[in-house]
Chain A
Amino acid sequence: MADMKIGAYICKGCGIAERLDTKSLVSVATRDGKAAIGREHDFLCNADGVAMIQQDIDGEGVNRVVIVGCSRRAKTEAFSFEGVTLSRANLREGVIWVRPDTDEARETTQEMAEDYVRMACAEAKFLKVPESSGEQGLLRRIMVVGGGVSGMTAALEAAKAGYEVVLVEKAGQLGGVAAQMYKRVPAKNGRQGPVDPEVEKMVHAIESLPSIKVHLNTTVAKTSGAPGRFKVELATESGSSSEAEVGAIVQATGFVPYDINKLPELGGGKSPDVVDQLGFEMLAKAANGGPIKRPSDGKEVGNVVFVQCAGQRSEAPGHLPYCSGHCCTTSIKQAMYVKAAGGDATVLFDDLRTPGATGEDFYRAGQEAGVTFSKGQVSSVEVAGGEVKVSFKDLILNEEAVDNADMVVLATGMVPMSGPDPYLMLDLESARGQNDTARVADLEAQLEGGFPSVLNLDYRQGTDVPHLKHGFTDSHFICFPYESRRTGVYTAGPVRRPMDMAQAMEDATGAALKAIQACENAALGRAAHPRSGDLSFPKFRMEGCTQCKRCTVECPFGAINEDEKRYPLFNEARCRRCGTCMGACPVRVISFENYSVETVGQQLKAVDMPDEFSEKPRLLVLACENDAYPALDMAGMTHQEYSAYVRVIPVRCLGSVNTIWITDALNSGYDGVMLMGCQKGDNYQCHFVKGSEMAHYRMSKIDDTLSQLNLEKERVQTFEVSITDIERIPKIINDMAELIGQIGMSPFKF
């Protein structure tokens, strides 16, 4: 960028001019902030104000714009200038709306505003307009791993959008579980009853599309690279291998049914006439509409009992704690097969779960077909004399009952075919390294019975997509089901969470979109969700690096590998721009063009620090821009009052907070530092997964620094807050101000 030229624009609207001396703010900007141009305007955000700024950009060569007015979250459409950096000093929501309009408050309120002007100008000096790195070109090809219905759907839908697809299937044919089905539960109009799964139709569609390349009997031996430039090595069963380049990956590796042999109390493994749903489906497929013959003796089944929630929704050891979602409608479907062939079918359930319009319609269709539904708790399934005796408690009639059936179908759950959890693997590796035998044994037990790696990612942080819970790879976020922890890799179908076929197809279509989006983003060097569109990415200064590996270990997205010399190797397109690496780096060699140790560090240093005897302490708040900062804005909108001694700096994520900022703040005389981030732990709300947790961890280590400086440890505190803590955050701030009043001013003021 050409020579830096700061233009600072002070808005007088929305009561700012009535409450503050804006003339003085202009001089603060030009004198302290070194702004080349400082102007006031009555309503900066209106067309005239915006034109004034644009004129300075075009005519005066202003390339660092500082808007002094409302919050950075307000009037974003107006303050959107091309080719320049933008800093915002928040005097409305952050100053005049949180301060009382009284004579005695006037001085401290003005000081607050002046500091924010200084801070915005300081930031402006260190901001750069991010430029795309051009790390990769546009590659309109995705890989889909898994050739079941989810995988085939993802492949077909991506192909329909004009993308090439590399479809990898472990087995010798496409179709997965669905290929073994006689019929399926319909995706719409549940009244129609079971319908053809149309798997052959899908397989045919795939085979007839030249843009989909199918690899059967194939697994993924290695995946390296990043979105837009993944390099995958495919290995066939016969030992041959090939390579492919893809822009993004959809993992649709599906599920296996829970092992029925683990349920002897329900007759599992005791008789060939006690089967799981997939087993019964195959019998139905063999019968092809005729009477279903039971495995033990080929007798046509007259009475079949379906036992729901077999080994699932249960905390018992070895059982699945979740509900697999599809089993109620699957049992209804299979019971309808029995009814159609002239037999009787009873479904014993706890809660019949057929949600939505289609689900409830399908339930009614099952009832209309004559399937009997009983709310019952099965105590045992015993095989004797050619019959399977199901003992259960009829919960409606409140009595013990027995049903003698020809066959029993256990509705067991779905076990996701995800690869090993990478973090468990890494833990295991480190436990082995430390010879921690107890930990090794524990981790090995957790990993036992799992599936081999699916993607073999050549990532510093393990070979596969991280698990969320119970082996599923689902996103943790309710509003963002595809917010994956491995950018450009999206899982779909029952590997992600338990689901039925209709939902798996929807899910796969959505995942295909995300894969396509990942390719398009990578080509432009654009960040994916949640910092969508951000063109900045971590810049790394190798000279200073001590190879401590904190950045490679702490990146929540596995974006950083290590090269042969054990230096961090950044993969831009995997990066989500949270800045956790920047926060982790003890030698501060990682930065973004528009967010760096300097852009924040210089802001906090720009504050005018009153001396120890002024009785004007200074509190620094580093607030997560996603939740804490909006909450502070809304505190302003609702005129919650908080201390005038506070100076707030928004950060991308608490994970990006480098401890140097804390040290700098304390050294420059701040009396207290508050970090405000999102909820951490199992129910984390941090959009960058681990950021908030990392910050808490790092701050727990700050006590040493504090004691070296001979400062009380209460001076630095970390808080978990929510975007709705509109009343709580001002209270936290005020409590902190009060606390500082008690423990006294910092001695580090100059």
Chain B
Amino acid sequence: MKAGIGISCDAGAWQAGAQAARAAVVHPGTATVGIVVGAGDYDWAEVFAGVRSVMGKARLVGASCAGFFVPQGVFSRGVAVLFLAGNELVAETACVDARYQDVRETGRVLGRGLLQSGIRKGAILCFPDSFEGQVSQLVDNLYDTVGPEYVYFGGGTGDGWKVLDSWQGTEKRVTCQGAAAALLDGRCFVGGVAHGWVPEGAPLVVTRAKGRVVFEMDGRSAFDVYAERLGGVAAESFAETAMRHPLGICYGPQHFIIRDPLQVINGTAIQFISAIPNRSVAYIMKPREENDLTMARKLTEGVVSRLKAADFALIGYCISRSLLMGETYKKELFALVQPLGTIPYLGFLTYGEIGSYGDAPQFHNKSISLLIGGE
């Protein structure tokens, strides 16, 4: 199998797509799959058209993001294409537009679209809109429709730091505020997810929550409890402080699903980036260590070690980590990709990450999700 990475920072959408694709294509005319990400106010239909003009009949999947990182560097504007080619590689894509208002149905439609290929194992790449914090339901229904025989990877998409729109697309269509996915097989795929947060203090119970709003913790006002745990915080500065202390929902005895608090509502409730299970046990988290980059490195090393040889890597890196760490986040990126060596990789800043601790995928916040394909 062959893999290549190309980028373009051209201002023109079509040109950026075509240039990035041309740079990525290792052997012209043999592309099987192209994964496209981009940042900036491009016309995404044109971007995909440009990529298609080079990659011909290859399957394409991708989305807009706040930034991306490749061997060539970290970019806040431009288009990047990961090119995959190989006779053994098979792929199917699906794209659902915003007609499907019910996010659960979106997941099911996406799944049914991928299964039309008849591919029954491999990796599923998913690029959804944020769906107002309901991506968990999309992921859950995608998994229920497709089943456990796949490795799941992906991330929430956006149009940059404004987070007003998101674009997703395949070789068939481009949509806004929808979801795009691809199913790959023909190689061995392994995935992993990590976050680097550790619990602080005693557990608490989410005693009343609905969707991504938590009204009560431990039977009291959610904000009161959270603020107490943080040593006293005013509502106005809560978001800034809580950024460093997300909520960790217990996942088995060893893992946590991280949830980013967003804002205080009515002085008592807390709205998070994504949904919080009602009556769940959680912890307020803290960084394992300040500026600790070992988690990122260990994540990649751990995933790579499960393969004999890696062909390519895809990385979803939560945008809030970059906000939290400032420029230091690039060091973490470096630590993340260093174990890959010369393996082509494509990483992008995500609004939530799709990855699995076990077989079933979860939707994470403030985390890193990784997919490596190889042998």
Question: Is B a genuine binding partner of A?
Answer: no
- Chain B residues at the A interface, C-beta cutoff of 8 Å: none
- Chain A residues at the B interface, C-beta cutoff of 8 Å: none
